[in-house]
């Protein structure tokens, strides 16, 4: 129930994945919302781009994530029913490794929540997926519901539908500062001054700049996404024939791939171990070293994929020290929700986290245990 153009019940700072989803679910509740973004989402300057992102259910990062990602699956499919664009696909995912925690922890999640999986030995892996070349001591864990979600399409959906519900988005407008002002909050941007009763911070790599008093200990990591045209047997790289793959290598590195979807090429990236950078210097272009690292992985483990490079993107991870999420109230104020960072594995959760943030800021019960995502663990 906004009284003026510069007033709202809730201000959201950052309209990427979590901010746009929070905007959408708040708007479904009839809440007056003002959303701000320094750029024009969906854009290529943050963490929520790259055509497709992996979605998976047998979560090796922690059992506590599983109920949230299961809710995300429900919401993604609900959104797909209304969207004319592709939002989610399910075609399977294969974890590969030897004796590390990657497969072991994914199996724990699967066992607790009765997630359908199939364990494969080396021979079964290469028989089923002929383009893969794992070491003979590698095992595989096949998860049937894994697949892809589409970040640009999803953010467009959240923003367009929340706008239809009355949300006002202030794009290309940078938040400079904010402060408590009597019983409300004053938010100052490069274009104006605004007021709200509550705030959601979902600003990713820029979270430290906006909340210096909380001193959230995050690091920003540069990540490169590359797409290749396979050397031959292209049909074996399509999503009808090949799943996502996640590789837990014995040298400590992790890589992931996604099959050819909508003719965009075979997607490959290293997961973590990228260069730490600042929010003011995000190094948007990829370089020869980036390509050499990815091609080295492909030549050893998926050699037929190591063909022509057809596209590249640079994105960023905003990492907490333990690589878990931060979803919590401000330490001193329950009228402020902080939803960042997601440490490079958050997009698949987007609608569920948007729903969570909406419920939190409205004082509604949240059905998940969020204690592992508390800010207090760093204070």
Our CA dihedral for 128, 131, 136, 139, rounded to 10 degrees, sits at -50
- Whole-number Å distance between alpha carbons of 107 and 125: 17
**140-170 as b/e: b if 16+ CB within 10 A:** bbbbbbbbbbbbbbbbbbbbebbbebebbbb
Decide: 77 and 114 in contact? Cβ < 8 Å.
Answer: no
Decide: 197 and 185 in contact? Cβ < 8 Å.
Answer: yes
Determine whether 364 is an active site residue: no
Decide: 199 and 178 in contact? Cβ < 8 Å.
Answer: yes
Our CA dihedral for 186, 190, 191, 192, rounded to 10 degrees, sits at 20
Active-site position among 267, 318, 345, 350: 267
Determine whether 52 is an active site residue: yes
Determine the 3-state secondary structure of 315 from DSSP: strand
Residues in contact with 255: Cβ distance below 8 Å, sequence separation at least 6, in sequence order: 246, 247, 249, 268, 269, 270, 271, 294, 297, 301
Active-site position among 49, 51, 222, 345: 49
Active-site position among 245, 257, 315, 342: 315
Determine whether 128 is an active site residue: no
Determine whether 53 is an active site residue: yes
Determine whether 348 is an active site residue: yes
Active-site position among 71, 169, 170, 348: 348
Decide: 368 and 209 in contact? Cβ < 8 Å.
Answer: no
Active-site position among 52, 243, 257, 318: 52
Terminal Cα-to-Cα distance of the chain (whole angstroms): 36
Determine whether 77 is an active site residue: no
Active-site position among 174, 271, 272, 330: 271
Question: Taking each helix axis from N to C terminus, what angle separates 350-361 and 66-82, rounded to the nearest 10 degrees?
Answer: 100
Residues with active-site annotation:
49, 52-53, 267, 271, 315, 348
């Amino acid at each position: 129930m906004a009284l003026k153009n510069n007033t709202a019940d809730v201000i959201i700072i950052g309209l990427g994945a979590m901010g746009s989803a929070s905007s959408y679910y708040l708007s479904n509740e009839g809440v007056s919302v003002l959303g701000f973004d320094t750029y024009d989402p969906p854009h290529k300057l943050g963490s929520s781009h790259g055509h497709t992102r992996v979605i998976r259910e047998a979560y090796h990062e922690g059992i506590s994530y599983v109920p949230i990602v299961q809710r995300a699956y429900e919401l993604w499919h609900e959104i797909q029913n209304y969207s004319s664009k592709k939002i989610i696909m399910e075609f399977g995912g294969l974890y590969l490794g030897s004796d590390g925690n990657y497969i072991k922890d994914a199996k724990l999640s699967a066992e607790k929540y009765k997630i359908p999986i199939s364990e494969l030995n080396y021979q079964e892996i290469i028989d089923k997926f002929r383009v893969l070349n794992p070491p003979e001591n590698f095992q595989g864990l096949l998860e049937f519901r894994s697949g892809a979600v589409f970040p640009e399409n999803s953010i467009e959906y959240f923003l367009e539908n929340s706008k239809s519900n009355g949300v006002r988005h202030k794009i290309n407008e940078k938040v400079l500062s904010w402060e408590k002002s009597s019983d409300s909050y004053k938010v100052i941007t490069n274009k104006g001054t605004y007021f709200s009763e509550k705030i959601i911070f979902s600003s990713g790599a820029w979270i430290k700049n906006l909340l210096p008093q909380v001193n959230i200990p995050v690091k920003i990591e540069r990540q490169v996404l590359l797409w290749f045209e396979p050397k031959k047997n292209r049909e074996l790289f399509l999503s009808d024939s090949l799943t996502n793959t996640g590789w837990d290598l014995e040298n400590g590195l992790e890589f992931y791939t996604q099959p050819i979807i909508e003719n965009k090429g075979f997607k490959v990236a290293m997961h973590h171990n990228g260069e730490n950078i600042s929010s003011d210097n995000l190094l948007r272009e990829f370089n020869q070293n980036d390509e050499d690292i990815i091609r080295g992985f492909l030549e050893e483990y998926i050699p037929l994929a190591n063909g022509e490079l057809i596209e590249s993107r640079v994105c960023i991870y905003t990492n907490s020290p333990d690589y878990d999420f931060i979803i919590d109230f401000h330490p001193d104020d329950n009228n402020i929700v902080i939803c960042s960072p997601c440490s490079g594995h958050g997009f698949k959760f987007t609608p569920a986290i948007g729903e969570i943030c909406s419920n939190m800021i409205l004082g509604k019960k949240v059905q998940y245990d969020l204690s592992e995502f508390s800010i207090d663990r760093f204070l």
